[in-house]
Structure 1
């Protein structure tokens, strides 16, 4: 395999995230703002503080599991943003990217889940049935009789994993794709959620 030039530029990140999760997160946040805001505005006594504490706990947790998860991949590395961790993996350290019942990457003997690439077994079965129909002898779009073959249907998670696998194989030898795996806790999510949960517990006990 030809080693890429050290001066070869890395392209912009490809971003993988679940649009449905983002939409769900926005709707849940709107509900939290409405309910907790009403408690703060109309509540009496400790009710206002309970509303504030509940919002402080619920908002970061909602963001963590819906809006925050994403995978950013370029020619040198992939960055995984999971609910409570940020993981950076140079392609040289990645052993495999795969999608079974969940999407995950293997690197340096560890396994990291890709929260932003949900695997739908129903979608995969549908894609497999469609591909089987197109590959059947004489099927329209199968490429028989010299005609062009139709694109093979793939589930969205499988397509994302295929793209990341291709990037990993192509970028593994790049000078900029070397180095150790980096894992950092997302304290900007964890800290307010813990503070809010602790405050809510205290307020409910002393209420």
Structure 2
């Protein structure tokens, strides 16, 4: 079965746009820059790229065959399907797994998105008289729900239907890729301070 990934689409697009921008500027600094200003600009690009990677590109919820994997900025969490308890949404998705509570970085339900969903539910209620039964059922299914609400419902449903396929144990660990990115950026900044 194919893994299903849930994340902020806006963050993902912004993150890759920044990566392209940073790569172009890095090439320009290497080709046309002069020391030490090119090194300082490169360090600034590196720090901003680290922040974009950690906050926009890395966070995701991955529904795997045996469980759900949550990638937050610096940590990874894995919960097998049979250990998933309550999944609910405050401003973020929260997965309860026994004594472990995992707060997912993305997708989040912002106040603006929540207000739009509520307004959409009000408009749907007013126009239901003119809808066919199929349109009415579809409108009721999404009325008042945000993307985070939809993802939380999907995870709850998967935990019930896939509990027999569960593998592994609940674990929350530091992310090697995130820590490596932080370390590389720190080295770049230190080298810049020493040489500039």
Give TM class, smaller chain. Answer: 0.7 to 0.9
SS at match of 1:105: strand
Indicate the residue corresponding to 1:190 in structure 2.
179
Task: Give the Cα separation in 2 of the matches to 1:123 and 1:58.
Answer: 27
Distance 1:56 1:125, change over 3 A: closer
Shift of 1:25: 0.5
1:165 alignment counterpart = 156
TM-score (norm 2): 0.79
Q: 1:131 to 1:68 in 2, by over 3 A?
A: same
Specify the SS of the correspondent of 2:5.
strand
The aligned counterpart of 2:89 is 99
For structure 2, the residue ranges without an aligned partner over 5 or more in a row are none
Per-residue deviation at 1:193?
2.5
**Alignment gaps of 5+ in structure 1:** 1-10
Retained in 2: the 8 A contact 1:77–1:91?
yes
1:118-161 CA distances to partner (integer Å, 9 max, x unpaired)?
2132222222233345446x942688xxx563321222211111
Q: Does 1:64 align with 2:54?
A: yes
Aligned to 2:29: 39
Deviates more, 1:178-187 or 1:95-104: 178-187
Aligned-CA RMSD value: 2.8
Higher helix share: 2
How far the C-alpha of 1:205 sits from its partner, in A, is 5.6
SS at match of 1:12: coil
Pairs aligned (count): 191
Structure with larger Rg? 1
